[in-house]
């Protein structure tokens, strides 16, 4: 979708992070549409087995979560922009499930690449928790950690929703609560970018275009 290899290494001026927000098909589309994202890919992280298969991950025996690898241009988009999309695109209070998908592979997770990302992820979680509590939601269950290896998923999973004949599916159940300012936040994306995501609409991700957002 972005004209870049999914295995592309993050270069100078680029950041890399892994996000788990339920089924990785819909989650990946949400991130590849953001301006400033260089490449996305889906895979498995946070478990114990090397190079697991989809069937092994789905069994729950490997401990891996389905994740989206996001590489972005730090001159165009700040990590806090990515965190905004992460928190808003799913319900991080559901534990080992997201919507109708149940199992530890669907847990909410942020696997960071450095200490600055860790600090921002934790600060955004704390701010979002207060907003969720005010809206009547329970505690956030998101796992936030560093040092997790990504194992790329099988080719047929990569950018799945852009594939001809793909089954339009996304299990995410966004809360509708929007993340605002938090310590360390430095949003760079224009406000109109967020008009392309309307979490009040069921399966908003599926209804939007596949093409990256242009502003």
**Active site members:** 23
- Residues 6 or more apart whose CB falls under 8 angstroms from that of 140 comprise 92, 93, 108, 125, 128, 129, 132
Name the nearest CA neighbour of 108 among 144, 139, 80, 79. 144
Look up residue 61 and give its two tokens.
Answer: 């025996």
Residues 134, 22: Cα–Cα separation, whole Å: 24
DSSP β-bridge partners for residue 45: 65
């Amino acid at each position: 979708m972005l004209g870049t290899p999914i295995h592309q290494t993050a270069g100078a001026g680029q950041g890399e992070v892994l996000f788990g927000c339920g089924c990785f098909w819909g989650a990946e589309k949400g991130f590849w549409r953001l301006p400033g994202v260089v490449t996305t890919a889906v895979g498995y992280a946070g478990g114990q087995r090397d190079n697991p298969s989809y069937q092994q991950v789905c069994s729950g025996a490997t401990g891996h979560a389905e994740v989206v690898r996001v590489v972005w241009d730090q001159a165009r988009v700040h990590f806090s922009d990515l965190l905004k999309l992460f928190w808003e695109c799913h319900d991080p209070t559901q534990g080992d499930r997201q919507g109708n998908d149940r199992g530890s592979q669907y847990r909410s997770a942020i696997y960071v690449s450095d200490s600055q990302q860790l600090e921002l992820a934790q600060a955004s979680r704390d701010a979002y928790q207060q907003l969720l509590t005010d809206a009547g939601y329970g505690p956030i269950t998101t796992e936030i950690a560093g040092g997790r290896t990504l194992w790329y998923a099988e080719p047929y999973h990569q950018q799945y929703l852009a594939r001809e004949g793909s089954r339009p599916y996304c299990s995410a159940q966004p809360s509708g609560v929007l993340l605002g300012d938090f310590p360390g936040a430095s949003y760079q994306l224009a406000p109109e970018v967020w008009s392309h995501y309307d979490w009040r609409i069921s399966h908003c991700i599926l209804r939007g275009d596949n093409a990256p957002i242009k502003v």
